[in-house]
A and B are shown apart, each in its own frame.
Chain A
Amino acid sequence: MSLNATYDVIVAGAGHNGLTAAAYLARAGRKVLVVEKNDWIGGAAVSRSLHPGWTYSNCSYVCSLLRREIVRDLDLPKYGLQVIPYEGGATFTRDGDYFAYYSDHHALHREMARHSRRDADAYQRYAQAVMRQCRFIRPFLLRDAPDPASLRPRDLGEMAYLVKKAHGLGPRELGETLRFWTMSIGDFLDEHFENDLIKAHLAGSGIIGTGLGVYSPGTAYVLLHHYMGDIDGGIGAWGFARGGMGAISAAIGADFEAHGGTILKGAGVEKFLTKDGRVTGVALEDGKVFKAPVVASNMDVKRTFLTHVDAGDLPPEFTRAVERFKIRGSSAKLNIALDRMPSFPAAPAHASFLRGDLHVSQSLSELERAYDDWKAGRVSAKPYIDMLIPSQIDPTMAPTGAHMMTVFVQYAPYDLAQGSTRSGVNWDDAARRQLADCVLDQMSVACPDIRERIVHMEVRCPAEIEREVGLTEGNIFQGELTFDQLFFNRPVPGWSQYDSPIKGLYLCGSSAHPGGGVMGAPGANAARAILRADGVRMKGYAA
């Protein structure tokens, strides 16, 4: 690989968003270099083999939000990307029963009615309310958030689009929308359902990745954030990337390289270089310097501006806003190699829902208590878990007959309390063992033999995710998805359009609109903003 000293654009970080931005820019004819601190690409969309024969999606683990327009624009199937939807899921009870979710309408109705006849009928209105919000928000994902204080024609146009959309809802629906965007998932579910187990099952999406409890305002939106994706037109459907989530990054990276782009691995950024308020390039940790008039940072907003930019180059007001940006670690992860399929005694033979997401939280109050532990700096005594066994439908993840399990854990604090201190450094081996033990106890509600099935296990705590992936506090969304820091307030008011007070320095990661998840939208939108600054209209967003 021959490297030049100068490029048109340098992207710092080969996460899926950084690669997406790079791919669009390369397709527009720009000479683009991506520098990545790890020896592999993908950021939090990676597949890693940590035990021979097994592959883990060891950070993000399921896919739905990835915009289909981007998949088409970048021709990702050509580079081997295949997303396999999974269907259903279940929450297991401590007395040997379960509530299962089916995508088949009648099966779902019958299963709900088993727990509450009224809830079975109420589901229609619940689904209608959620889907209406999905319809409302989806068009905004690949649009810029307008700056409401700006009088530039584009901002006025985007603002007009927003007003038109909002006006089109009518007064009642608009009221519901504002309520939905600010209320808690607990309150929202209480309005619709009576059964604790059904509510607990549906609530999970409202707290995943978030430093908030089920009764914290703003969690209803987090649920929406997990429902607004789609697979093959099925809105709200989730799936596995064949070969793990790294297959997504690999495909985007392959498209980027096929269009002349260069990826430099093992090349962490030390500093974004600036001169007279303009970015001029990057200096790497190993001392190498690459020059470019435009640099896009795939790092989160805190890491970008508080760690890799001289504070003197930034307006203090901006720096303070970035410092205030909420990006709290609240999640941990277990990746497990299993010698064979664990047994789920409650599940009927060949239950299709075992191929979906499995949980064991019994009620909203149990979930709220799990959040209370986190506030105090403790791992939840009864954490919410989101576990899946993708090897049931993706044969590439484990040897034949063996399986791989991914277990997302909520809540685990970044600044673990130990004695009188609260700090990320408290995450020592003993603390991680304790976390794993507590999660395995929870899992054994569903599959009592889980401990006997383990061949290898990776335990990931927030501090470790921060260290390896670079996400501040290990927050999976590069910043909380709460209304105060969404849309034109993301990441900070006045800077929602991917640019920054340093001319030429852009954000292209999930700290920017429309936020986290393996979506690609911030990356694609950032590329569009970069090209627009050159007076070029970006091709794409096939729709």
Chain B
Amino acid sequence: MSVMTDPKVGLIPGPVHDRLAALSRSQAWYGWAGYVAPSHLDSMEFEYFALRNQASLFDVSPMHKYRITGPGALAMLNRMVTRDVAKLRAGRVGYTLWCDEEGMVIDDGTLFRLGEDDWRLCCQEPMLDWLMEAAWGFDAKVTDESHDIAGLSLQGPCAFAILEAAGLDVGHLKPFDLAEIEPGLTVSRTGFTGDLGYELWTAWDAAPALWDRLWEAGRHHGLRAIGYDALNLARIEAGFLTAGVDFQPVLSVERLHRGLTPFELNLGHMVHFDKGHFNGRRALIRARNTPRSLLMRLDVEGFKPAPGALIYHRKKREIGHLSSGIWSPTAKCNIALAHVRMPYAAQRPANLWAEIYTLEEGRWATRMVRLTPVKGPFFAPPRAKATPPARL
């Protein structure tokens, strides 16, 4: 039998593309895992402030999603990821990382325990091959659900009020809780914004109807569809990492020694050595106290965002770079995530400087600005954690 299948060069529409295309005034699109995704639909500012002030809707369907089921699923996952997921009860979601044998991070993601022996892993990178390999010898089945399950992320202070208006009762969900609120519709109190927010998971074909339902419910709550640009601001304010930007997934880099350990990403608390063997454990035991560099949160002097800027110790020795940098409209400071070599990263008081290049109307200039280490997220509103959640 001859099969002629068009692999479709370039980007293909996601489950709610029709809705997004109708809303797009700016026609600013980018590619996310092969799908057409909005950079912004109107303007990034509008969308960012809707997210932080009212509510935002973002299609996360292009994320890779894998279902892991069977009596051996827990053991298999615990063998794969760095944190002890036996502590994750059914109905809970956990952020986690997984590493190669060298202890280098392959990817991070969220692990949903849908039932006792029923899990879903959501992540940025394609992971079926690695998961199947990890499942070898375990009584566990791995299924790629990436194109079967759609996800809509509803984030912002009015997110709960909108779900309520849509007739979805999620008031009892604490952060990182999940529940099947209606047959075929799972809601988790999760997100990538550091704000009050929920992610809604349903069948690919059911996504447009779910979108319409939320859209109608959000009419009086200022709900806006947003693109990645606004989301990116929010996630940096929350201090979250993006694969490929703030760390290089080790399976996808050609050059050697581009990998980082969880400790080097400041995620040591996500590594549980006491749970028995897991992938990369031996290497991580050796590496735990000897990070080569550290991921830092920095306040950058002045007002010019500086992603990519090189970092210098005492304005002289080059010791790292800023991986993400933005002006935070909410924290009203110039913030960045950065990789800084040891021992400079641990020295206090820090003597860190970034070299910033500016192009102003045809004239390039450079200046050194002071970097001040910041503890914790740049923005962490109490509403993100309050249960029952606030309505605005």
Does A393 lie at the interface of the complex (its beta carbon under 8 Å from any beta carbon of B)? Answer: yes
In the complex, which residues of chain A have a beta carbon less than 8 angstroms from the beta carbon of B161? 400
Contact A242:B327 (CB < 8 A) given known A68-B303, A77-B332, A85-B45: no
B332:A76 contact, CB within 8 angstroms:
yes
Does B43 lie at the interface of the complex (its beta carbon under 8 Å from any beta carbon of A)? Answer: yes
Q: Which residue of A lies closest to B378 (CB)?
A: A77
* A57-95 interface (Cβ within 8 A of B): 68, 71-72, 76-77, 81-82, 84-85, 87
* Residues of B in contact with A, size category: 20 to 34
Tell me which of A76, A103, A395 contacts B54 (CB under 8 A): A395
Does A151 lie at the interface of the complex (its beta carbon under 8 Å from any beta carbon of B)? Answer: no
Q: Which residue of B lies closest to A234 (CB)?
A: B45
Give Cα A392–Cα B25 distance, bound, in whole angstroms: 19
Tell me which of B42, B49, B157, B330 contacts A393 (CB under 8 A): B49
* A77-121 interface (Cβ within 8 A of B): 77, 81-82, 84-85, 87, 103-104
Does A401 lie at the interface of the complex (its beta carbon under 8 Å from any beta carbon of B)? Answer: yes
Give Cα A81–Cα B329 distance, bound, in whole angstroms: 11
Contact A395:B332 (CB < 8 A) given known A85-B45, A87-B43, A242-B53: no
Does A543 lie at the interface of the complex (its beta carbon under 8 Å from any beta carbon of B)? Answer: yes
Does A396 lie at the interface of the complex (its beta carbon under 8 Å from any beta carbon of B)? Answer: yes
In the complex, which residues of chain B have a beta carbon less than 8 angstroms from the beta carbon of A543? 302-303
In the complex, which residues of chain B have a beta carbon less than 8 angstroms from the beta carbon of A71? 332
In the complex, which residues of chain B have a beta carbon less than 8 angstroms from the beta carbon of A82? 52-53, 330
Does A171 lie at the interface of the complex (its beta carbon under 8 Å from any beta carbon of B)? Answer: no
Give Cα A270–Cα B328 distance, bound, in whole angstroms: 44
Does B392 lie at the interface of the complex (its beta carbon under 8 Å from any beta carbon of A)? Answer: yes
A395:B222 contact, CB within 8 angstroms:
yes
What's the minimum C-beta distance from B371 to chain A, rounded to whole angstroms?
A: 14
A393:B222 contact, CB within 8 angstroms:
yes
Does B50 lie at the interface of the complex (its beta carbon under 8 Å from any beta carbon of A)? Answer: yes
A232:B327 contact, CB within 8 angstroms:
yes
Q: Which residue of A lies closest to B392 (CB)?
A: A395
In the complex, which residues of chain B have a beta carbon less than 8 angstroms from the beta carbon of A393? 49-50, 53-54, 222
Give Cα A233–Cα B332 distance, bound, in whole angstroms: 10
How many chain-A residues does the 8 Å CB contact rule pick out? 27
Q: Which residue of B lies closest to A75 (CB)?
A: B332
Contact A395:B158 (CB < 8 A) given known A72-B333, A77-B330: yes
Q: Which residue of B lies closest to A69 (CB)?
A: B303
A352:B46 contact, CB within 8 angstroms:
yes
Contact A233:B54 (CB < 8 A) given known A85-B49, A400-B161, A401-B220: no
Does A173 lie at the interface of the complex (its beta carbon under 8 Å from any beta carbon of B)? Answer: no
Contact A87:B45 (CB < 8 A) given known A395-B392, A396-B392: yes
What's the minimum C-beta distance from B217 to chain A, rounded to whole angstroms?
A: 11
Does B346 lie at the interface of the complex (its beta carbon under 8 Å from any beta carbon of A)? Answer: no
B332:A84 contact, CB within 8 angstroms:
no
Q: Which residue of A lies closest to B46 (CB)?
A: A87
What's the minimum C-beta distance from B362 to chain A, rounded to whole angstroms?
A: 15
Does B235 lie at the interface of the complex (its beta carbon under 8 Å from any beta carbon of A)? Answer: no
Does A394 lie at the interface of the complex (its beta carbon under 8 Å from any beta carbon of B)? Answer: yes
Q: Which residue of B lies closest to A394 (CB)?
A: B53
In the complex, which residues of chain B have a beta carbon less than 8 angstroms from the beta carbon of A85? 45, 49
* A226-260 interface (Cβ within 8 A of B): 231-234, 242
In the complex, which residues of chain A have a beta carbon less than 8 angstroms from the beta carbon of B158? 395
* B157-200 interface (Cβ within 8 A of A): 157-158, 161
A392:B43 contact, CB within 8 angstroms:
no
Give Cα A82–Cα B221 distance, bound, in whole angstroms: 18
A104:B43 contact, CB within 8 angstroms:
yes
Contact A395:B327 (CB < 8 A) given known A82-B53, A400-B220: no
In the complex, which residues of chain B have a beta carbon less than 8 angstroms from the beta carbon of A231? 329
- Chain A 319-360: CB-based contact to B (< 8 A → 1; otherwise 0): 000000000000000000000000000000000100000000
Q: B interface vs A, CB < 8 Å?
A: 25-26, 42-43, 45-46, 49-50, 52-54, 157-158, 161, 220-222, 301-303, 327, 329-333, 379, 392
Q: Can you add 10 more A-B contacts, CB < 8 Å, to A393-B54, A395-B392?
A: A77-B332, A77-B379, A84-B49, A85-B45, A231-B329, A352-B25, A393-B53, A395-B157, A395-B222, A401-B220
Q: A interface vs B, CB < 8 Å?
A: 68, 71-72, 76-77, 81-82, 84-85, 87, 103-104, 231-234, 242, 352, 392-396, 400-401, 542-543
Can you offer 29 A-B residue contacts whose CB atoms are under 8 A? A71-B332, A77-B330, A77-B331, A77-B333, A77-B379, A82-B53, A82-B330, A84-B49, A85-B45, A85-B49, A87-B43, A87-B45, A87-B46, A104-B26, A104-B43, A232-B327, A232-B329, A242-B53, A352-B25, A392-B222, A393-B49, A394-B53, A395-B53, A395-B54, A395-B158, A395-B222, A395-B392, A400-B221, A542-B301
